[in-house]
Structures are given as C-alpha cells and as structure tokens.
Structure 1
C-alpha cells in the first residue's frame, strides 16, 4: 500500500479527506496530517509517505516552500498540490518545482482517488524502470522533457538505443484521451490502450516523432521537424480528422496541447513546459465546465444558451466600435441567470478562460496568463447584475485586443525588414533562415514563427516566390539560357530550378519562355492590324 500524508491549514478539509475515504479498501494507508509545512516536516521524516497532498496557501511554511524542501530532501515522494481558482498560478509554479500533479478545489473523494491512483501508477512505473539495467527509450524521452539529461548524455544514450535523435527542430505535444460515454466517464485500460495504439498508427504515417506514456490517458510526443514552421497546425488538423472516428470506434475524444519549436535538444524541456502550461489551461477549462454543468439546474447544456464560437470569432475579428452592440446581444441570452449563484461565477470564469486561451492562440501564443487570470477572477466575483456582466465582457475584450494590437505593432517592422533583406539578397544561393534572422537580431525559430503567423506563408515560400518571379522576368526579357537564369536567381542546380519553376507556374522555363514569346507576337500582330 502507498502511504498518504495530508497538509492543509483548514481542519475541516483535513477531517473531510481523512474520514470520507476508506483508505485501506482503496489500497492506501493514511499515515497522518498536519496544519502547515513546518509541522509536517518531522512527520514526513518519521513516516516517509509515498504521496504527499498539500495545500498551497498556509501559514508559517506554505505549499511551495514545502514542495521545494521535499523535492530536495526526499525526491522519491510524489507531491500533489491542492489549488483553488484564485491560486492556480501557484499550482503552475509548484509543477515546475517538481510536483506530480494538482487537484482543483472544490473536489470530490472520487476525484482525489482517481488522481492518487494515477500518481501511484507513476510510482510503480518508475520503480520498475529503476530495476532495469539499461536506459530505456521512454526514460530518455521523459528526461529530455524534464530537463534531466545533458545533450552529450542524451546523444550517447540515443546511440546505444539506435535512435535517430538529432534533427533540425523539435517540438513537444501532449495528447490526452477522455471518455465521451456518459455511462463510462473513466476510460478503462483496455479501451485506452487500443485507442492509443490506433492513434499512433494514424499519426506516425505523416509526422515524425518519439513518444512516451506519461499516464494511462496522456501521451507525450517529441516531434522532429526539418523546417522551423510550427507543427501545431499540421498536428491539430490531423487530430481533428481523427476525432469522428475516435468517437465512433472508441467513444473517446483527443485533446492536443503543443509547445513552441526549438532548435536544440535542451530546448525540448522548454517546449514541454509550454505544452504543459497549455495542457493545464485546457484541463482547468474542462474542470470548470464540469463544475458549470454540476451547479446548473436540470443538467443545463451551455451550448444551447451561448454560442461560444460567436464570441471567439468576435474576439478575433471584432473592434471596439461594435463591441457594445455585440455584448448587449450576446448577454441578452443571460437574462435569467442568478448573478449571486455559484453557477454564474463558473459561467463567467469558463468564458474568461476560453477567451484567454483563444487570444493566446490568435495573437500572442507565449503571452503569460498566470498574472492575468487571478485579477480577472477577482473581477468576476463582483459581477452582481446583468449590467456588471456586460461591463466585464467589454473590459475583457479591450484588454485582450491590446495583445492583438501589440502583436501587430511589434512585428510589422520586423516582417518588413525581413522581406526587404530577402528581396535584396535572393540571388545568394547560400541565403538561409539563419542568415536572415542574424541580420534581424532574433532567433531563427522566432522569426520563422512570426513570419508565418503574420503573412500566412513560410519564409521559404516567400523566397521561392521572389526568385521565381525574377526568373519569369529574365525569361521574358533576355535570351539567357535556363542554367544561367537559375544561377542568377540563387539556384546552383538547373534541374532543381526547372522542377521548382514548373511546380510553381505549371510550365517548364522553356515552355514559359515560348508561351510569353507567342503572347508578345500576338499582341504585336494585333497592334499592326489596328494601325
């Protein structure tokens, strides 16, 4: 049995958790509790629990300090954080300090037991890995994501395991399976394994990646990219394609969280942290929706009342001038809401989290939200009327639109400079993303991502278009041979240039020149007839 210890300064919570769970029956041993971290430390040394459950906000020694001490002195102990909406950003900090997971208040005994079983499975899996003599591929991938292995050591282990680890770019994604069967809200192991295997078979045909299971329902992908274009769109499109089949065959759905593209092996850890932050936001949103459904009368379906896509589309494309009319029409569907109810809080909190997530995706992917959400949560608590709701949504839209404006203002000059540099140096056959980003004084991955987001095309596509347009001009106005034109526009290989030219224009260079000559001759003939 795994030993469990609880630390929380609220005696009612300690007693509730202690008494409401039949620990022995569930396969755990409850070995004690304490009111704060300072009182808990001697008990931890005495009992050596396998899993420590701790609240974040406590007097004397809070949960973050306790988590840090435990991770340093007793690294084998898994820490679960108890977090409320108001201190969710503290939970994110705790996860970075090494906490195994978090549980969002309020929670049921079933929620806590499910989390304890997941962490218990993790402990068992890690113990089994320690018994093995060799470094497994899954452990290598997990250590890369956790930032626990150096580049030299990772390359050495990959060579031993005969893994082709090195590539140009990396990104991390987290795939999470959840049940859509209301009669079976938890995925059973057999269905989860079967669905996971099927997903892997579908994805591996189009995407190059390594993977490891983080839990029974969560899989981490380390995506290998040859180009710096962010793989999230390709992966999201493929996941969207699989959703209907997943629902029909396995009665489950797939949630995707993706980190940014990185150039180095050590950057895998950064991308993993970004994917984890995205994953936590999505999980929080899902838990908030569950709470929303639970607190509403009669099993209320929020999609009947509110069109979330309408709100998100206005966030993306709307403007301040039209905002009052839009918000007035949107909130007219909330006339019957009791603004003093818990349901009203969950409803507005749900909309807020969803709008922040959309704004990050549309405007500034890496904008920190842990300093934004707590302040908004305080504002939500003061919504006591329909007018307050309208005022809050207008204020939120204005705040998120500042991200959009900042992104537009910030990157327009950078994109203009990059395009100008490409137009001035397109004939250089050695011109690369690295050269351009060096001139712009930014990282190549950042420049590539911003260029794609702002222009809707990759830098490679833009460079190709500039070169092909110049080649078309030379084919029309000069008698230079094809290989000479190829060299003049930045291509050493005439055969590659010809194939690329046909791919873009639909004609070979020779066909294009002939067609252009015939058009010019025809125009001259028409001119003579008119005279």
Structure 2
C-alpha cells in the first residue's frame, strides 16, 4: 500500500481527510499529518511517504518551500499541491518544482481518492519500468546490439551506470577466438581457448578509447565503438583488427576472427551495425567448414546485404497475432528483397531463423509440445523454397505453427483468458483499471491470475492492456482529427505527457509523427490483398 501524508494548517481539513476515508480499504496507508512544512519535515524523514499532499499557504514554511526541500532530499516522493487560491502563478511555480498535480479547494473525498489512485498508478508504472531497465553494463550493451531498448531508456540507463554513451556515430565488431581443434578431444563440449588468450584480447580491446566491450560467450567479445569522424573510426578499427589478429597469433597460436559492421548514426545505429557484423560472422563461420569453391556454389555474395531484425521476429512470435500478419509479412518482404533463392545461403538463413524461433518457443511457452517433431516438420518445407513469395509463405506457416504451440498453453485456461481479454477490451478506457479490478471480475486471486495469464499468452496483463490502448490510439490517430490529449483520455490516460511518452516507447514515434506517417487506405488495401493471396 502507498503511504500518504498530509500537510495543511486547517485542522478541520486534516481531520476530515484523516477520518472520512477508509484508507486501508482504498489501498493506502495514512502515515501522518502536520500543520506546516517545518513540523512536517521530521515526519517525512521518518515515514518516507510515497505521496505527500500539502497546502500552499501555511505559516512558518509554506507548501512551495516544503515542496522545494522535499524534491531535493526525497525526489522519489510524489507531491500533490492543494490550494484555495485560484492563482496561475502558484500553479506555475508548483509545476516548475515538479509536483504531480495541482488541486483547488474545495474538493470531496472522492475527488482526492481519484487523484491518489492516478498518482499511485504512475508510481507503479515507474517502478515497473525502473525494474525492467535495472541494467548492468553488459545487459545494456546486449540490448543496444539486439535493438531491444529505445534511445531515451538507453541514455537514462547509461547515466545511472555513469557511462558516457552518446556520440554522433557508432560501429560494432565481433571478435571470435577460434580454439584449436585438437583441444579437449574427449569432451563433448565445444573446445575453449586458453585463458591467457581471453585476457590478452580483453586487454587489447580495453586500450581502444571511446569504446565499450562485453563478452557474449567465452569465445566471443563484442566491441561497441563511438566517435565523431566515420573515416577515422574505420581507420582505427582496421588497425585494431589487424593488430589483434597478429598479437593473438604470435602470443597464443590462435586465430582471431573479426566481423565488422558499418559506421552508423545515432544510438539505434548500434543495432544496424551489429546486424551487419552478425551477418559477416555467419559467413566467416561457414567459410571455416566449406572450401572456397563450395562457398562460391553455396551462396551469392550479394546476399550479405540481407539483414533481418531477429529481435523484431522474436517479439512478433511472443506478442503478435493473425490480424497483424499482413503488415509483418510486408516488412519481411522488404527485408528479403534481393535474396538469391537458388543459393544455399537462402536455405541456411531460413533454417537459422527456424532454429532460433523454435528455441524461443521452447523456452517461453509452457505447453508440453514436442519441439523436435515441430522442427522436423518445418525443416521439410525449407528445400522447396525458390522465391520470396514462397519464403514468406513458409515464414507465415512457421509463425502459425508456433502460435498453435503457444495457444496449447492457453487452452487449459481459455475461458478465463478470454474473459480477461474481453473485459480489458471493454474497460480499457478506464484510467483506474487494475489487476485487482480484473481479478474480482473473474473471481481468482490477483497473483494466480497474473501468473496464469503470463504463462498462457506470453505477455503480462499490463502489457496486454497497454497494447490494447495503443492499438485503439493508433486507430483514432488515423481515423479522427482528435487532439492528442483527447485521444489520451479516450484510451484511459488523463495525463497527456505520460500517454505521449508511452506511445513513443511502444511505437518508436510520437502520436503526431504516427499520424503524419499513417498508411494510406490504398496501402492498407494492398496489404489485405497480398495477405489473401498467401
């Protein structure tokens, strides 16, 4: 329960608020009150309330002075300003100090509770996001390479880790130690490079200024390099790669394989550069087991330009559905443009994607499906693929088959899950909609409902609610002329800024950018016609 504290010099207001609300029943804990800011500070330091409600005009230390002190000493405390003065200057100053809301007297207990629930919801969301992005440097770098974190969240996480992350340009490189084949002949595990080679490589990479490294495995180390001059960055990386290969060979007798991505602009360019480096690494791995003549016959070198966003494909497996398939296939069609389907590489790429998605399904879906049989069934469909259309048909079947697996986990609780989804679709516009509300409707405990829903669907109830609201917001942005604050209210958010920030985190665009970019009706019809042909 959130702890609430009240500061107001009018004793009747303090007594009414304290006595007229059943705090525990409403999900709050009333932890104290005071008649002015000076007397309130010791109580605040002792109790550390989650939400502080304070009047503006008080003796000794007024509400704005108290707010200023609390914001400096306890920035995590949310503050609601109360005032009987309908004065814009007070409101301006309060907002500059970072208060959560500004409420005029007189107000009812129902008004206050509604305000407290709204602030409580924001606290919960901030805690969820903070927990989700409680990064270590290694996790942050992995998410940047995987394209799993937005720019604002990456900058915030880097600041918390004291990392100077921002720069105009970025490039990535994958350094792979190739262990000698005669090592550990009796072991069934992959051979490991000598320990001193790992230390030597780490030392070499740490000498590179303006760079970050993390170990993806014992044999693979990722370098993220930042700078302001692309030509200079390429020159430094060329020199580093040549020097590292030479020193590893001389010191340990080991061959070092280096895969490079191009220099890209902006933080999100790290992901694009990493995709290129991964693609390059895959070809080098193939080259180790095939002769040059075989490789010439096996793949078309121009196919190295084919880049598929694996993190996007995994996300679609977990959260996508049949209604989103046409648009997703359109994305894949653009990515696969230029593929030589007569080459062995095309089959290799599709098989690699299949293995990764099946493994993801195995780890994430709880139903007891036989993944080996599913994989065998899918792989029999690979060799006949000879065109982009057939490749897209295969990927469509791949997702449908794995979604069948996902749905098996939901079948046991199908009625419960359907009831929850239907209730959310009907009530998504209610700002105070919570897990407790939903659990009362379906008559199961909140903890059991949360666990069951996540295991059956692959997403949390909060994620489903947010996705439902964002989908409706997209429809309204495309089909109406409503202003952003109006759409925010219609989909369950009273705070326009919070809605806009969340919309950008989900879609990568602000509401206005999404509206400007919106698909034309002709394009939507083309997508539908293409889907019907599949």
TM-score by length of 1: 0.32
TM-score by length of 2: 0.32
